[in-house]
Structure 1
Amino acid sequence: MTASSEKNTRPSTPAGAVFHRCALQVNPLAYAKKFRGQKAGDNGRAHAEAIVSKAAELNVSVLAITDHNDVGGVSHFQEAAAGRGITVFPGFELTSSEGIHVLCIYESNTDKSRLERFLGEFGIHEPGSSSSLSNQPFQDILGTVRRQGGITIAAHVTSDNGLLRVLQGQARIRAWQSEDLTAIQIPALVDGLHPSYQSIITNENPDYGRPHPAGERLAVAAVNAHDVAKPEDLDQPSTTCFIKMSTVGIEGLRQAFLDPDSRVRLSPEGGAPVSDDHAVLQDLSWDSGFLDGVRLPLNPNLNVLVGGRGAGKSTVVESLRYVLGLDPLGDEARKAHQGIVQHVLRGGTKISLSVRSAHPFSGEYRIERTVPNPPVVRTVTNEISNLSPEDILPRIEVYGQHEIAELTRSRQKLTRLLSRFVKTDSSLVARKAEIRRNLKKTRRSILETQAELEELEERLATLPGLQETLSRYEASGLEELLGDRSLLVREERILNAISERVEPFRERLQDLRQELPIHREFLSAKSLEELPSKDILSDGDNILKRLSDTLEQLASGFEKALKRADREIAAIRFRWEPHRRDVNASYEKTLRELKESAVDGAEFIRLRTEIENLRPLRQREALLRQLEKELVERRHALLVEWEEIKAAEFRLLAAAAGNVGQRLDGRVQVEVTAAGNRRPLVDLLRERVGGRLASAITILQEVPDLSLPDFVQQCRGGEEALREEYPMTPAPAGLLAAASEDTLMRIEELELPPITILRLNTAASGESPVWRTLEELSTGQKATAVLLLLLLDSDAPLIVDQPEDDLDNRFITEGIVPRMREEKRRRQFIFSTHNANIPVLGDAELILGLTPAGEAVRGSARVEPQHMGSIDDRAVQELVEELLEGGRDAFETRRRKYGF
């Protein structure tokens, strides 16, 4: 599409194939009167209008008019349905020469005269509804209708005049195995049928086995299409079913009957088979750049981008990654992404993406990003939202060309993929973060305490010498001469201590003032306007306001108390000051007298002052020793809980691995190893210990179950303890034993991530399993194992650029396609591909054909409207044949060479 007027509009229904509720055996007035004995009046138009109105009420969008041997009532339904979004297929119901009822349905534009000619080919020449037999047997009717351009459904096969009731023995087997038999009508679900019929329909009866069954458990497509003779009949589940089509037509029905697992849902399965509880990318458009003017509507299920080299498939994928603000996981993928953004999208290009978010912020949004600016999220009313793309699409995944293969080289990145299957315990996550913070706090506190203790010990180490010198002065009688000045030193120290006791509270007041007033912007009406629980959350604003006001009052009282204390301390000093002056005057006089007798009184007072200043440090040292003990005990308790939480998280991951392994039973095995990634430890040792540690690092990497607490304990125990536990040489063991306490505590706080080991069953289908680890697999097999993991259930879209580049073709058909078909019911996929198996066998709901014009740097690309649809669109079929199969002639040549 290139029309600029379409860029900012989004279709009300998804593009591509969608489910239509179909009533395929609707009868006109004549049938109701003749075969039902209804007193329905004589107005055929009113009868048709009533049924069409009921159909519109029930969202039945497809009606097939199939009266017995008559097409006279079709026009009434066509007139009634005009302009109401309901497609009317004309047709009739035949009775074969054996007595089997068959529904014959034709294109909606087939006129009455042509339909009557078709009836004539079956020997039906008299107008009006009748029970006359056709002149052709059942199998011939199927073939004739196919050649006429129509499609057939074997009516009520398990009831009177049904295929499985009329025929017996070999005649029934031959009819059942006819290639022209594409669909049957049953009253309810297959599982509710009589076992004898059920085994035939599910292809489990070997006598009736069809060589090419329509589905995994269906020999032939089954539909619910019971007779509708009056509007109320449409309320019955047996009268309608759901059929997925891109273009409502005979080809759409044919494709659905060829692939009923993907395209047909029986009504008793519980309403419309559409899941609205998963996130969906709805449409993508560009302004400027290589895809200027292109708008891609997207389907909620499987979307496949096709096109020749340089058509822009990778540009579409990387545009999605860019507008969502997602970073590539691999280095090579990052370079490729940056290259496309810089040289293909180019600066100034605007990418717009409409999305439907499931949770936590359900609703519709539009994400816009102009190169090179960050993304902007808008609401349905075009207002800018505070949400980010990650907020509204938290689990979306985008993988560029070869990126999946690149991921297989890292067991740590594989663990990251596995983590999305873990049942998240929010309380565990919060507690883990809290413990991590507290461990860092205790480390800093312990180191600060130990540093202060070390400084105190250095200062207190001088005290014995000072006291010894002072004793000699005291022995000479100076204590008596200078007693008042000595006591004054002690008094001054006490006065200083009073002020020192106040200072910590002054600092706390400053800290409190910095946090006030409490910031509450995140609870404003604008911030909460998009949240469903905004009325509840808004109460938090009042709580924080009351708390802020109360703390402001407390801070004011706190400040007043400190000022009062300062005044009172100053008053004490003022009262003490005369005494200090008198003592100092007497002291100066005594010093002059001592100087005459060659005695150093000043040195005595200096010693006394220094000793008095050191004396309180003894008490401080005892307090610090106690604090250190408490901090170490607190840290030990935190470390125990830290290890328990890491173990609990690993158990959740291991459970997820087991669950994934069960769901991929027979295809992929998943194993996780706790603390398998030693890189954080290696990096820390190299950074903070250094030296020749290579041999020790190798040993630590090879220890099967490395315990960090045990390793740290041995380091603290010294070189011998370390070598006894770990077979290291003396040199690296000595380096580790000499590591600082800071380093050892940092090691205790490390989290060694688990690693994931994947094994793929490389045996062919039906053979005994042959399990190989990723290291033993080819690049394609590695990518297959990872892609199977990615395809498991999620409510977020998965986008992959040309996955087949790294996949083996057999694994695509046997492993990837079946999983894709199963999961697309509940999840959106967007793939670009050159491989026909993905859109055809995967039955893509939307195939988008891109057409290039020039090279990527200077050229452009477009998507023609006729190249947007499903495989039931003829133009799309031809596009797939040409691009992915090499054209019809090439396909036929291969078929003949293979002997198919």
Structure 2
Amino acid sequence: MPNIEFRLNKLVGKRRINFHVIFSNEVDVYDIEREFLESIKFVYEAEPQAGDEKRSLTKENLERLGRKLKKEHKNFKNEPDIVIGLKNAVVDDEDIMQILSNKKSIFKGKYLIFVPADEDLSKISWNGQDHQTRKLLIQKCDGLIASNQNTIEWALGYKHPGKTRKEKIRNFKKEFKSLKPCIFGSDAHSLEKLFEPDNKKYTWIKADPTFEGLKQVIYEPEERVKIQEKNPQEFYHKPFFSSITIKESEIFEEGSVKFLDTSIKLNPNLVAIIGGRGTGKSLLLDAVAKTFEKEPKNERAQSISIRNDDFVVSYEKTDGTKIEYKIQEQNVLDYLHVYQGKVKDIVDPKLPEHLDSEIKGLLNFSDVPQRPFSEEEINRLINEIFEIKGFLEKKDSNGNLINSLSFIEQEIGKKKKLINNITTKENTELIEKYSANLKLIDKVEKMKENLELLSKELVSFQEEKNKIIEELNKELSSDNKLPLLDFKFYIEKILSINNNNNEYLEEIRNENKNIKDEFRKKGIIGDISTLLEQVKKYQEEIIDLENRKDEVIKKEKDLMQKFSIISNFVEKLVESYNDYVINVERSWNYLKKGKEDWTEEQKTLVEKLLSDIKVKPRISFDNKIFYEKLKKCLNLRMFQSTKEQNQEDRIKEVFNIHSEEDFINLLKNKKMININSEKFSLSEILDKNLFVKDGTKDFLKLLLIETSSYWNVISEVYYKSKSLSQLSVGMKGTMYICLKLATDPFIKPFIFDQPEDDLDNDFIMNNLVPIFRKIKKYRQVIIVTHNANLVVNADAEQIIVAENNNECISYKAGSLENPDIRNEICKILEGGEYAFKQRERKYSFPIQKEEVD
């Protein structure tokens, strides 16, 4: 591109100012020479009391000036005429600007003015007499030629007076009319110096290598140009989708629509996909989603049936390696995909659990707090409870609860009466002794059995383990050999105890034999053997009953222990819920502070995203859901409606659960249930006639397993101090996207299909556009949109235009500065031309305050 450097007739300090005019390569050289240069006048000669003689800025006139000066000043004689003329001719910047602005048909929009700044403009004194000269030159230029970092920041308004960055920029533009991008070159005066600036201060411009590309630095003076040694693209290595390759193929099974051959290299920053209705702009992202099994819930996306090799997505990792993913394979890739309509689905007021679940997921929390026992453990506990209850509630053919303590005591009493009925005063003492001996015999026999069983188990254990020890000893050194097990002492001791038991049994049996003899000596008439056999039979039955009584007592104690476990379960669950609330709050606060390895810009970005959002976790008990589920367990005939109460109210009156506290007390086995004005605990009502068949078990499962459906920690979200119920759908969507980006802000690509469908327009322009401008440094952003502001003012690095010709879909890509792409934006996107004008005025002096804000 032609760059003409003019020496102006102005001095700033002791330095003469140069004026650079960079022309578009589209301007004809003839027009530059004839319509521009030859129209500029320079002072050739002056006379007293006469006007200056001016001549056109042509090569011939410059040579004439050189020859004239060489005659008048001998020190010039050794240099060519043209060099002396060029060194000494000066022009007026006003002439330059007037010529360019007057010949709009030739030059409008096809030139840029840059002025060198050889000093640190942030530190120079503006108090001298050249204040206005310097200011006017900077006001009329498009940018500066400078590499000093302080000057670069000064030209972007950062060092200007003001409390905030926005105010500093506003004040700078008010004084200097626009922000000034800085570029720098080699200023080569020899071939060796060409393309090698001092200190390797290369100028990197993010744009097409055209004049329109260079022009972008005027509209994006901070983001589009950097002066440094290394490529700014290497500043932050991020993974990104690097290309999409499509072979001509039918998209759906019915074959009415197809993709044409397309290969798109994707920019790693902000990519905007645009197109008219039905052109396939969202379809492209649907196919990407299907490639990674992130299919949207719309019918179109789910019906995509492209063959495996006909749609390939390439992904470049941070180390530069690339991976190809084919659409029909089972691919796994961690990236953020917000499909069309997903935001509205998440923030649907009818399904608040969606947003709650999403928030917990964003903060890396499960939907429900961790339970102290697994579902398997709870099911086992419930089964054990009902196994015990089955034992305690067992009935005989007459409907007697044969394992109730009252029934057993009654039966023991009956057996004792039968013994009393067959005895007299004379033989009562002998009978009682005989019965006591029978009890002892039973007790000792059981002891013998247990000791013999223990002895056998010891022998078996000894043999088994000694074989293992012998094998190990083969590998061990003599110093480390293990001694063999020897339970001889225990076995012999058991044998000795059982010998004593045998002797004791012999004594007791002899004593009972003597009792029989005693009966005969007393002359008792009757069948003594039958009498004693009857006594023995009743006594054995009494022993059995007493053993069963012990078992019942143990079972009842065990049952209460099970309910103690339930009480312990709920205490631990409450503790888990409270810990969950604390951890969510802690994670939220941690998120707002940012991570240690984030830059200040990253932390500021996340802080801004979350500035209007508050997340307050709280424990919630939903009575409505609890009673809806409870009704399924109940025998509803027991809760018939009356004139005074409907069925639901009667159920609530009986179960008396109105809050989280009531629920906890029920599980702690406190008397909560009202039946006929009497209160019962959880353990007491399970055998009441309140439930359908198997309803009691379902009731316990409801209390212990299904708790999360009605008792949970929910995340209450406030946006701009308003609760969700007070927000519009657009504000909810805005809040959700801020959360989504803040909790997962960097590295992973972010795909967003038509954000304007879900978000407030005010948020898009004032918040989402600045957010996209920042996060694209740290992650690839791909959007489908029909909002020109998201494309133009967010300065999308790449535009992909979707086209549909007779159901044949294709895509073409280019930059904002590409004239064809710009035309497509203005044609397709509503307000496209206005968005460009807005952007082009953004860094100029604002006509209205709102344009800056």
Shorter-chain TM-score bucket reads 0.5 to 0.7
Distance 1:673 1:842, change over 3 A: same
1:441 to 2:377 alignment:
yes
Distance 1:108 1:609, change over 3 A: farther
Distance 1:688 1:436, change over 3 A: farther
1:94 to 2:6 alignment:
yes
Once the two structures are overlaid, the 10-residue window that deviates more, 601-610 or 251-260, is: 601-610
SS at match of 1:437: coil
Cα offset, 1:832, TM superposition:
0.7
CA shift digits 1:449-508 (9 cap, x unpaired): 585377369636244234334434555477878999876655665577679999999xxx
Distance 1:704 1:363, change over 3 A: farther
8 Å Cα contact 1:307-1:850 kept in structure 2: yes
1:249 to 2:210 alignment:
yes
CA shift digits 1:371-422 (9 cap, x unpaired): xxx623xxxxxxxxxxx33xxx1xx332232332333224443344544664
Partner in structure 1 of residue 241 of structure 2: 281
Quick one: which amino acid aligns to residue 244 of structure 2? L
Quick one: which amino acid aligns to residue 93 of structure 1? E
CA shift digits 1:576-635 (9 cap, x unpaired): 9xx99xx9xx99xx9x97897897578437615634753762784597379558746753
Cα offset, 1:824, TM superposition:
1.6
Cα offset, 1:741, TM superposition:
5.6
- CA–CA separation in structure 2 for the residues paired with 1:186 and 1:460: 97
Partner in structure 2 of residue 814 of structure 1: 766
1:240 to 2:202 alignment:
yes
8 Å Cα contact 2:246-2:310 kept in structure 1: yes
Partner in structure 2 of residue 718 of structure 1: 672
SS at match of 2:250: coil
8 Å Cα contact 1:442-1:631 kept in structure 2: no
8 Å Cα contact 2:186-2:193 kept in structure 1: no
Quick one: which amino acid aligns to residue 140 of structure 1? I
Cα offset, 1:821, TM superposition:
1.2
CA shift digits 1:710-738 (9 cap, x unpaired): 564799442589x9xxxxxxxxxx999x9
8 Å Cα contact 1:315-1:345 kept in structure 2: no
8 Å Cα contact 1:869-1:876 kept in structure 2: yes
SS at match of 1:655: helix
1:655 to 2:589 alignment:
yes
SS at match of 2:614: strand
Quick one: which amino acid aligns to residue 670 of structure 1? K
8 Å Cα contact 2:315-2:323 kept in structure 1: yes
Distance 1:853 1:249, change over 3 A: same
1:672 to 2:627 alignment:
no
Cα offset, 1:260, TM superposition:
2.0
Q: Report which of the two structures shows the higher radius of gyration computed on alpha carbons.
A: 2
CA shift digits 1:847-897 (9 cap, x unpaired): 10111133xxxx33111xxx31210222211221222258979999xx9xx
8 Å Cα contact 1:661-1:669 kept in structure 2: no
Distance 1:341 1:348, change over 3 A: farther
SS at match of 1:398: strand
Aligned positions of 1:7-46 closer than 5 A: none
2:341 to 395, 402, 409: 402
- CA–CA separation in structure 2 for the residues paired with 1:672 and 1:154: 55
- CA–CA separation in structure 2 for the residues paired with 1:205 and 1:640: 54
Quick one: which amino acid aligns to residue 441 of structure 1? E
Partner in structure 1 of residue 391 of structure 2: 455
Aligned positions of 1:402-441 closer than 5 A: 402-410=341-349, 411-419=352-360, 422=363, 433=370, 435-437=371-373, 441=377
SS at match of 2:581: helix
- CA–CA separation in structure 1 for the residues paired with 2:567 and 2:454: 27
Aligned positions of 1:733-744 closer than 5 A: 743-744=702-703
1:137 to 2:82 alignment:
no
Distance 1:347 1:735, change over 3 A: farther
1:849 to 2:801 alignment:
yes
- CA–CA separation in structure 2 for the residues paired with 1:697 and 1:801: 49
Aligned positions of 1:158-557 closer than 5 A: 158=119, 168=130, 172-178=134-140, 181-190=142-151, 198-199=159-160, 204=168, 209-210=173-174, 219-225=179-185, 227=187, 234=196, 239-245=201-207, 247-267=208-228, 272-286=232-246, 288-290=249-251, 291=259, 293-326=261-294, 328=296, 334=297, 336=298, 338-342=299-303, 344-345=304-305, 351-356=311-316, 364-370=322-328, 375-376=330-331, 388-389=332-333, 393=334, 396-410=335-349, 411-419=352-360, 422=363, 433=370, 435-437=371-373, 441=377, 444-445=380-381, 448=384, 451-452=387-388, 455=391, 459=403, 461=405, 462-472=407-417, 474-475=419-420, 476=423, 490=443, 493-494=446-447
8 Å Cα contact 2:620-2:712 kept in structure 1: yes
Partner in structure 2 of residue 824 of structure 1: 776
- CA–CA separation in structure 1 for the residues paired with 2:368 and 2:820: 58
8 Å Cα contact 2:186-2:194 kept in structure 1: no
Distance 1:107 1:186, change over 3 A: same
SS at match of 1:754: strand
Cα offset, 1:318, TM superposition:
1.8
Quick one: which amino acid aligns to residue 405 of structure 1? K
- CA–CA separation in structure 2 for the residues paired with 1:673 and 1:463: 54
SS at match of 1:871: coil
Aligned positions of 1:31-110 closer than 5 A: 91-98=3-10, 99-105=16-22
Quick one: which amino acid aligns to residue 820 of structure 1? F
Distance 1:757 1:143, change over 3 A: farther
8 Å Cα contact 1:356-1:365 kept in structure 2: yes
- CA–CA separation in structure 1 for the residues paired with 2:317 and 2:585: 31
For the aligned residue pairs, the C-alpha RMSD in angstroms reads 6.0
- CA–CA separation in structure 2 for the residues paired with 1:504 and 1:224: 93
Once the two structures are overlaid, the 10-residue window that deviates more, 712-721 or 302-311, is: 712-721
Aligned positions of 1:497-646 closer than 5 A: 600=534, 603-604=537-538, 607=541, 610-611=544-545, 613-614=547-548, 617=551, 620-621=554-555, 624=558, 628=562, 631=565, 634-635=568-569, 638-639=572-573, 641-646=575-580
8 Å Cα contact 1:418-1:656 kept in structure 2: no
Task: Say how many residue pairs are matched.
Answer: 670
Cα offset, 1:845, TM superposition:
0.9
Distance 1:283 1:465, change over 3 A: same
8 Å Cα contact 1:489-1:612 kept in structure 2: no
Q: TM-score, normalised by structure 1?
A: 0.59
SS at match of 1:753: strand
SS at match of 2:142: coil
Partner in structure 1 of residue 713 of structure 2: 753
Quick one: which amino acid aligns to residue 862 of structure 1? S
SS at match of 2:277: coil
SS at match of 1:752: strand
1:786 to 736, 745, 758: 736
Cα offset, 1:304, TM superposition:
0.7
Identity %: 16
